[in-house]
A and B are shown apart, each in its own frame.
Chain A
Amino acid sequence: MPPRIPCRAHRAACPTPTAAVRCRTRLQQTRFASTSASAPEIYDVVCVGGGPAGLSLLAGLKASPTTCGLKVALIEGQDIQKNRLPKDASVVGFSNRCSSLTPASVRNLQEIGAWRHANASRIQPYQEMQVWDGVSDARISFDWDTARSLGPRKPTQPTTIAYMIENVNTVSALLGRLEELGGVDMFASTKVDAIELGTDTEQLDLSSWPVLSLSNGKSLAARLLVGADGANSPVRTFAGIASRGFDYSRHGVVATLDLSTAGWGGPDHKIAYQRFLPSGPIAMLPMPGNFATLVWSTTPERAATLKSLAPNDFAAMVNAGFRLSPADLEYLHTLPSGQAEEVAWREKHTPTNERGLPVRVTDVQAGSVASFPLRMRHADTYTGERVALVGDAAHTIHPLAGQGLNQGQGDAAALVRTISHAVQTGQDIGSTLALESYNEARYAENNAMLGVCDKLHRLYSVESGPIVGLRSLGLRAVDAMGPLKGFFMNRAAGGV
């Protein structure tokens, strides 16, 4: 086993880790010298991927007094500045990639000081959620009023279920915070050409360290390499960690919708809606003003049909998705056009309670209709020797509970705690021993959430038969039992 390079506790005043490495290697003068063209630059933490999870991790590290002395680098393949929200962004055009941030994620962003950098006028908290079965119409409503345990609601209890935010707004907020904190070497528009283990040279032994060769010719050695590089993570491949799972053979169709009004609860009481159709759930989530974002999980064929529709037909299909029977929807997807007229006729013969449904979609923002394949993936472990995985690199989840981005935020926060603890106790932050607590804190929790979402998807894919009756009975029972509903809401909110 190669000698481990010790890492002292890094306080703001302590010598930089690179200095620590040098002083240690001077003692190894007797080692056989080998020539190396250019020694890699040594970093404590190298994060590959500048998405919400990776940026949250770096902001967390830099915001904590314990870990702010670490030398960190960020490598992102795309131009970070180009993907930022413009400062004067008007509150009209919303991106179609939005996420629902749980109160736990928001609290974490507040703690690391990023939340105040977000564009608040483009964030929409919502206070109620209506979920129902597209086959039986069994319904459950989530709001903290009906989910109270016993007695009246305390004024201190939260009323917000979650916050709808564009992913670009989250990323911009985190970048704003990182700029404020400083001290992160950003390699934007830079690709990682290769990751391999370093060599054992005269000066220092990097044989257990991942060394990254970048497209700009630089080479970085990482005490801890963090993979925040998405579902097809090169870091995970380098670490030899298998990611298991399957494809749902479903696509998520996203779009930004124009609504006829701000919603049944007005601008101060926004409501999210989700209807479970046998092909997958359709969800409409509120955005500021008369806007909403759509996430419609459906078969790839139907997703292709939806994407090919004219705006008025697409809007009619979304209205139909919340109102018409699965049989009607099945037929509507076979038409090449003319859905608006067909839906208008069918709505006359489909009795609905409009108060329980989202307000009508009047239009869809041009160019906002897109789709992505839905997958379920889970890495065997989140940590390896000098490697940790966060966010989508570690797990990919069905979007039906809106948990994907929140899991990544939870990972980042947990990894910050783990690194912080390792620094405080003088451990090598890249050692498997130090990283163990990160895997322990997140794996089981993420696995449970992945499992629940997967089972819900399966349960609601059933179109008819006794399962429909049983699941409807169960849904109504949970709806009637306030404390039990409160428990589920707590879990979905990230255990507030």
Chain B
Amino acid sequence: MSLDDDMREALDMFVTEARDLVQGLEEGLLELEDQPAGGETVNAVFRAAHTLKGSSGLFGLRHLVEFTHVVETVLGSVREGQLDVTPGLVSALLPCTDHISAMIEGIAEGRLEPDASQLADGTRLLAGLSPYLDGGAAPAASVATPGAEAAPAEAAWRLGLRFGPDCLRNGMDPLSFLRYLSTIGTVTGVVTDASGLPDAEEMDPESCYLSFDVDLVTAAPKAEIEAVFDFVREDSDIRITPSESQLDAYVRAIRAMPENDRIGDVLVTSGAVTEMEMAEALRVQQERAVREGTQPVPIGEILIEQGIVQRDIVDAALTRQRRTTETRSQDTRTIRIDAARLDKLIDLVGELVIAQSSTGVTPGVSAETSNEAQGEVMRLVDEVRHSALSLRMVPIGTTLRRFERVVRDVSMELGKEVSLTITGGDAEMDKALVERISDPLLHLVRNSLDHGIEPAAERRKHGKTQQGTLRLNAYHDAGNIVIEVADDGCGLDRDRILGKAIERELVAPGTALTDAEVYNLIFEPGFSTAEKVSNLSGRGVGMDVVKRNVTALRGSIEVETTRGIGTTIRIRLPLTLAIIDGFLVGVGPSSFIVPLDRVTECVELPPGPLGRDCMNLRGEVLPFIRLRQLFGIPGEPARRQNVVIVEQSGQRTGLVVDSLLGELQTVIKPLGVLFSRVRCISGSTILGNGEIALILDVGTLIAGHSDREHTRQAVAVG
């Protein structure tokens, strides 16, 4: 279906509104679970569903109308008092909100019809609601029944079975596996390969030399086929790939799937790859990355290399993933703005126009009046900028409240009792940042629930309250927004982290590390101490990704933990990505900008022996970095050099520069792709005189410096 522009625009608005409604619906349901008697909440939830149904009707989105209608009917009987709110009801309704949300996202991507898997989901969810529909007044019957939920379709597989030489001795007869396969499906072809048989004299009659390629058509999922070979997996090479004839079907199935961030999820859901194969491939990926110290090889490449799936399938999955990223980035095209803020901006621009017209037009005004008018214009320009920026600012509370659902679901799954406290929800930050930080936060929340907070029994044993507490807190601090994820769980185990790091060869045995350094190891790629890999975390993918995401947003992350008391993870982010207050410094012919909120003071560099990179600052030793040296700027240092003292996470460092050029409001221009690997520089800006100044990334600058110092000391000691 093609959409003209008007329709597209209207639909965009619908999507924005619908997202809010769904979130309202979800929050209301969670609130009802806590306080089932909340009459006002019931009304609000009912209205949300009703409005959603109504506006989807306007756009002729039949699937959405039909589904929401059922939800609305159930909520209607709750409102009428015919139905009590039970945990069961909430648990049946919450997945429905997810489903509605998925349909809305589908519409946002231009799919006005549901796909097969969505239809199947819908039918399943409505079936779950049917006990709550009074008298079975079957509105569900009006919902189109999809064909997809019939018996699972048969699929063709190609099994490559290379049994280990010892399997006969171990009592495993390959022939019995072949026989068993014909009980779970139809064996349409077998190629027995006897080319592995050695010469007569060398042959060991008790070793297995045969291998088989089997074509199997079965309705059983891949994991079930895989399970057949559980006993011989150790020393055999068993490969189960979708047969060539099936490729198109997989590619089609993957194309019809909802979009997903993770290619692994797409592949596992499609059935082409099992959880076990994915876990193994992830392990290989990490091992290799750690061993070779390079960027991880894409997981798809590893799966192909291991002969688990064909390239066509991985490519199809990749397009699902790529499209997700594209839709995400388009998401921010429409944004809701508080009308009062817009009015204020318009008001300011009006004032600016008046102030502008009063400067220098009338001849004969005194220089003093003219200056005053100029000053007024400057002030207004500044306010306009602030006000324009604030249009992009949204309170972070909306994002944080979404975690109520996560906490509820995850703690139910894990059988733990956890309450969530949210504070500082009205702290504001850039909308783009909010969107990009919500995934890392989600990971941290899950991690805390999974590994931080102990099961109720264990908590009682340690004399803690049975119910664990997860705290999400946000506040502004020196031009940054700080978001804390805190739990009152078991805390990090220093010894175990260190032990694991040594085992993984991340640190050399016997290295003396501070507590903070040890705790920071959890952000290393491929690091996970969880002894038990659960559904949620412990796969060793995650904390490093969280850190990478936070760093990409010019933020930093730190851990604070006490054994037995709890862990707090603190993310520090800039308020906006667009503008910073900068401090301009010069080194030779080059200019650099230091983010002003990092600068604590400036002093003159005291004369001292060259090569010693530290100075005495009021009785304290202050290490410093010579920017001229660091960036290899040619020429002699100025006769009098200055030190800009910057602070990052409580650590102070000096930056030695030639000249201090003053404060400057800096519009950040991101560096091009070409420079994406440059460290210590976070962006560039254009100065008033047309020259370019590079913006220093103080975090990596200091971190990099202490790394270099460490190596130097290590060399000196060793």
- The answer to whether A and B belong to the same complex is no
